[in-house]
């Protein structure tokens, strides 16, 4: 079976391609290299021994998307990672995000509507919940007003898919709401490659530890949590990747009562910023230079997943620990800075 992976040279997409190939799927990667490089294709090939088909293409170009589906008529499913994902940038440049994240989604769905049968997996985010009213967060938690245009593109994206599925019996879709993906593949052939100043905690930690950054700013320790810092559900990117294979198999078996479903993908455990720092210091055997500073606007106090639905319906659960993920992130940072 041929699976189209958009954004497949990105952080999460590349790890999913490895797991798809390990499961015997044939993969076509589409990526415009706006936030990745062709080296990732070599990394994937070194891990699996199988070079995915690669098409350099910008999914904002409607004709290019249509030609892609004419070329690969036997695409059985699409896993859609391609998007812009920097929250802060989305506030500064909302139209870039609405154009890139929504137009590409619409053009792909228009092509899938033409097929006899189509399977679609969407990269969503726990950001759709905002600050949930209760924890752990279940899929029935209300969707809160988005805190950023980026978060809004995920909410609107899910609505677009839901409305399309309602009128497209040929389409089966799943949205996976990722919590906080971190870490890298054990082979150290692929991992997270943040461009510029990292927005996320773990790449900032590893870049501080290796000396690229002077110190980590901890955004607030006056939150109503045990140690005053925010709590998140950090999931190893390889566990997250395996959840995509489980979701694809769910679509293939076609036993769902609905043709649009959604799942929280996390570990089910929350960790505070200071706990992450402490765990990192253990795995790296070095003290991390950090300073408590003011809160970051838009941060929610705590978010961690209730994973029961993914466990029971997808038959998937996270197996790797925070320690495993931080250790792999640290090894990856050391490798790419050699």
Instruction: Supply the residues annotated as catalytic.
Output: 150
Q: Which stretch binds ligand WQD (CB under 6 A): 59-67, 161-169, 198-206, 328-336?
A: 198-206
Q: How far is CA 222 from CA 89, 127, 270, 292, in A?
A: 26, 22, 17, 10
Applying CB under 6 A, does 299 fall inside the site for ligand WQD?
A: yes
CB of 176 to ligand NAD, least distance (A): 8
Q: Judged by CB under 6 A, which stretch of 8-16, 107-115, 211-219, 261-269 contacts ligand WQD?
A: 211-219
For residues 235 and 318, give the distance between their C-alpha atoms in angstroms, rounded to a whole number. Answer: 7
Q: Work out whether 331 is an interface residue with ligand WQD (CB under 6 A).
A: no
Region of 271 on the Ramachandran plot (φ > 0 left; ψ -120 to 50 alpha; else beta): beta
Q: Which stretch binds ligand NAD (CB under 6 A): 53-61, 63-71, 206-214, 243-251?
A: 53-61
Question: Using the rule CB under 6 A, which residue among 218, 245, 320, 325 binds ligand WQD?
Answer: 218
Taking CB under 6 A as the criterion, the residue among 12, 79, 82, 87 binding ligand WQD is: 87
Minimum CB separation from ligand WQD for residue 227, in Å? 12
Q: Which of ligand WQD, ligand NAD, none binds 65 (CB below 5-8 Å, type-dependent)?
A: none
Distance CA 107, CA 84 (A): 16
80 close to 12: Cβ distance less than 8 angstroms: no
Residue 293 Cβ, how far from ligand WQD at the closest point, in Å? 8
The listed partner (ligand WQD, ligand NAD, none) that binds 330, CB under 5 to 8 Å by sort, is: none
Residue 185 binds which of ligand NAD, ligand WQD, none (CB < 5-8 A, kind-dependent): none
Asked if residue 180 binds ligand WQD (CB under 6 A), the reply is yes
Site for ligand NAD contains 235 (CB under 6 A): no
Give the CB-nearest residue to ligand WQD. 230
Query: Per CB under 6 A, which of residues 248..267 are in contact with ligand WQD?
Result: none
Tell me: does residue 7 bind ligand NAD (CB under 6 A).
yes
Q: Considering CB distances under 5 to 8 angstroms, the limit depending on partner class, which of ligand NAD, ligand WQD, none binds residue 273?
A: ligand WQD
Q: Find the binder of ligand NAD among 5, 17, 28, 32 (CB under 6 A).
A: 32
Per CB under 6 A, does 200 bind ligand WQD?
yes
Q: Which residue is nearest to ligand NAD (CB)?
A: 10
* Residue 209 and residue 288 in contact, taking contact as beta carbons nearer than 8 Å: yes
The nearer residue to ligand NAD, 170 or 207, going by C-beta atoms, is 207
CA-CA distance, 132 to 303, in Å (whole number)? 7
As measured in angstroms, the least distance from the Cβ of 83 to ligand WQD is: 8
Residues that bind ligand NAD (CB under 6 A): 7, 9-13, 30-36, 58-60, 81-83, 85, 100, 104, 123, 125, 178, 180-181
Residues that bind ligand WQD (CB under 6 A): 85, 87, 125, 127, 180, 199-201, 204, 216-219, 230, 232, 273, 296, 299
């Amino acid at each position: 079976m041929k699976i189209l992976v958009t954004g497949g040279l990105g952080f999460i997409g590349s790890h999913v391609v490895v797991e798809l190939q390990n499961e015997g799927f044939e993969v076509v990667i589409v990526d415009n290299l706006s936030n990745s490089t062709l080296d990732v294709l070599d990394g994937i090939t070194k891990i699996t021994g199988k070079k995915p088909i690669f098409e350099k293409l910008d999914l904002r170009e409607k004709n290019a998307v249509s030609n892609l589906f004419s070329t690969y008529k036997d695409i059985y499913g699409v896993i859609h990672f391609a998007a812009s994902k920097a929250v802060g940038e989305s506030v500064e440049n909302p139209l870039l995000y609405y154009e890139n994240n929504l137009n590409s989604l619409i053009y792909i769905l228009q092509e899938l509507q033409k097929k006899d049968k189509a399977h679609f997996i969407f990269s969503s985010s726990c950001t759709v919940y905002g600050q949930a009213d209760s924890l752990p967060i279940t899929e029935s938690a209300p969707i809160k007003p988005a805190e950023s245009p980026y978060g809004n593109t995920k909410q609107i994206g899910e609505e677009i898919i839901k409305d399309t599925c309602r009128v497209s019996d040929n389409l089966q879709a799943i949205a996976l709401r990722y919590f906080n993906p971190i870490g890298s593949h054990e082979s150290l052939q692929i991992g997270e490659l943040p461009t510029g100043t990292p927005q996320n905690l773990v790449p900032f930690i590893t870049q501080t530890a290796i000396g690229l950054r002077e110190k980590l700013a901890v955004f607030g320790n006056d939150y109503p949590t045990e140690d005053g810092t925010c709590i998140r559900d950090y999931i190893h990117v390889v566990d997250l990747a395996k959840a995509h294979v489980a979701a694809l198999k769910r679509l293939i078996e076609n036993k769902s009562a609905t043709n649009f479903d959604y799942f929280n993908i996390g570990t089910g455990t929350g960790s505070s910023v200071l706990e992450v720092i402490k765990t990192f210091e253990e795995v790296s055997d070095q003290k991390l230079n950090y300073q408590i500073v003011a809160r970051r606007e838009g941060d929610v106090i705590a978010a961690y997943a209730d994973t029961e639905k993914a466990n029971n319906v997808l038959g998937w659960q996270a197996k790797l620990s925070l320690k495993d993920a931080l250790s792999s992130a640290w090894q990856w940072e050391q490798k790419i800075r050699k």
